[in-house]
Chain A
Amino acid sequence: MTDMLKEFKQSILISLWFVFLTFPLMVVRVNTTESLVEWRWMNMVWVALGSFILSYLWRYMLARQQARKKVADSGLEKQSKVTLLLEDATFRYRAMAVLLVLALIFPLAFDTYQSTIMISALIYVVLGLGLNITVGLAGLLDLGYVAFFAVGAYSYALLNHHFDLGFWTVLPLGGILGCLFGIILGFPILRLRGDYLAIVTLGFGMIVKIVLENWSDFSFGPSGIAQIDRPGLFGIDMDLAGSTIYIYYIMIAMVVFTILVTMRLRNSRIGRAWIALREDEIACVAMGIDMARTKLSAYALGAFWAGMVGVLFAAKTTFINPASFTFMESAIILSIVVLGGMGSILGVILGAFILILLPEYMRAFSEYRMLAFGAAMVLMMIFRPQGIISNIRQKYEYKGLQKETDNG
């Protein structure tokens, strides 16, 4: 009770302070043409009320967060209802089936514009899941992830332009080239950690973009490559709407494929090695895990998805230039992983939808997009550092299990 009173007092003080600070801006207005001073007292009330409520809310959330931390530290952590529900396998399968059906009828129910937006969200889902392997599971920071996306997109654009190779031929090739570049990036940074890793991966992303911009003979420079073929379907001619729907279905298939593969990887011997590497590098190698191989595989397998989905991106837009592969893209993909929940597949999918769809549908606020973005990230880090949905744990079956559940 005294706590609440204290919070209340603090919040009132803060709101008074805000009123004082914003007084000249929000309340006083000098009308120069008529040499009049307007006093907008209503504004003051709003500022006072707004800052009071926000401050109180902030304090309340922080207190709750602290309480929860204490519980977690004492090891008595209760799993949230959402986590419990998600761990129920039958519920999971049903939910997945419903979602899949919804996803399949989506382009039939909505127009081409909606499908296009959905395609770009799905592209980011795949990108997020890919980066999730490197950053979320293996704990290796990568600020230049968009470079692999560019590798995929340019490999299709160039191979299509020069050799007339089709989408389906280049699709796996793009993934493999992404892998190769992942390994190329991985080698020099095997020994790096933390800040150094951030700088080198950032530089790598920049280098790829600058090369694409300036090596005009190879990449056609800033003007980019146009008239890239859309994906073919047994040589059938399709109009824009038909082709968009087709690409949408390809994208759905790709997302399902990505989820399946990353899930299996995470729950395998390789995935466990990645997580161990993230948790403690020295203990990890002391347990007989080859650090170089594990790190390289994390970079390569993360990059694979970016390369593959890059091919689809080029086929969808039919025009690419280096401007699509800026650092901003890497930052957004990384935000998807962090916001969604490091290592959590479901979280990353949700994160991608939130970060890509919300700005699309709230065009009115597009000016404040970066502001909201930043604020959301800061709030997340404070109140939910584990992301929207934390990792669902794999369950193991062993002989002693029966006995255990009988007792408990």
Chain B
Amino acid sequence: MAEKHKFLEVKGLTMDFGGLRAVDSVSLEVCEGEIAALIGPNGAGKTTFFNCVTGIYTPTQGEILLHPKELPTRRLNGLKPNKVTEMGLARTFQNIRLFSDMTVLENVMIGRHCRTHSGIFRSILRGKGVREEEQQIVETSYQLLEKVGLADFATEFSKNLPYGAQRRLEIARAMATEPFLLLLDEPAAGMNPQETAELDQLICKISAEDRIAILLIEHDMKLVMNISNHIYVMEYGKKIAEGSPQQIKDNPKVIEAYLGEETDA
């Protein structure tokens, strides 16, 4: 079998906050068609790792390389978050960051921003092209809402949605930017078992139907073991293990790191 195409390649990523080394030379890869997971105890540096990759922090050291299929390789270090998103890498947030005073549909429409073009003058004139583009934005966004099962809430304010629905809305909004790689930060946090099962299906569907590679942070071990092909484990900023779900389950280092931690596995 030929070597799989790597979408994301992170080499020796290090992030310091003053004296605190939150991420310590972590290397990681996400390949095409893969669902990868990043796990570890609280405060291990997972979210910080995401923030470095998506341009919210500039890493102290290391290389973040994005290999899109058709375009040349890009180095993401120091790129602004919006540029990273434009390159095709979208994310969700651990502490939900929806636009609370906008409707569910409008939240998704924001995701379409970087794939549409109407400028100030054309928006004021509101010619045929602009109106068509607007309509296109609305339709695409609505289809995404259908995909994540939120179509019935389209006109609701996002702040009025239940917790699990808000997390799914974040996924829809990220998908609206047409990514080829999706980073999910604890998508199942705060969900009940049924919602988690639905999320499980949704992530698999996104991976299979939309051909989007996924890297997710998650504490729910059942979900992680179910859906991921490859797992990375972090502790105190360092990567302590990687491998298939079975390898991770049997890894003594991982068991030790999680000892005393509450896990569902």
Residues in A lying within 8 Å of B, measured CB to CB: 75, 261, 264-265, 268-273, 275-276, 279-280, 282-291, 297, 301, 393, 396-400, 404
Contact = CB atoms under 8 A, between A and B. Distances in A.
Nearest to B122: A268
B97 A273 contact: no
21 contacts: A261-B124, A268-B130, A268-B134, A269-B123, A269-B137, A272-B102, A272-B106, A272-B113, A273-B113, A275-B101, A275-B106, A276-B102, A282-B81, A284-B110, A285-B85, A286-B56, A286-B81, A400-B142, A400-B146, A400-B151, A404-B154
A285 B139 contact: no
Contacts of B113: 269, 272-273, 276, 287-289
Interface string B123-156: 1101000100111011100100010000110101
A282 to B, nearest CB: 6
A168 to B, nearest CB: 20
Contact of B123 (A265, A287, A397, A399): A265
Contacts, number: 121
Interface residues of B, number: 50
B68 to A, nearest CB: 15
B110 A290 contact: no
Nearest to B140: A398
A301 B124 CA distance: 12
A273 B117 CA distance: 12
A401 to B, nearest CB: 8
A282 B56 contact: yes
A197 B115 CA distance: 31
Q: Give the dominant DSSP class at B's interface.
A: helix
Contact of A283 (B80, B98, B151, B160): B98
B124 A283 contact: no
Contacts of B99: 275-276, 279-280, 283-284
Please provide the 9 A-B residue pairs with the shortest distance between their CB atoms, ordered closest to farther: A288-B114, A268-B123, A288-B85, A75-B160, A279-B99, A283-B97, A285-B81, A398-B142, A396-B138
A398 B86 CA distance: 26
Contact of B177 (A287, A291, A297, A396): A287
A301 B177 CA distance: 26
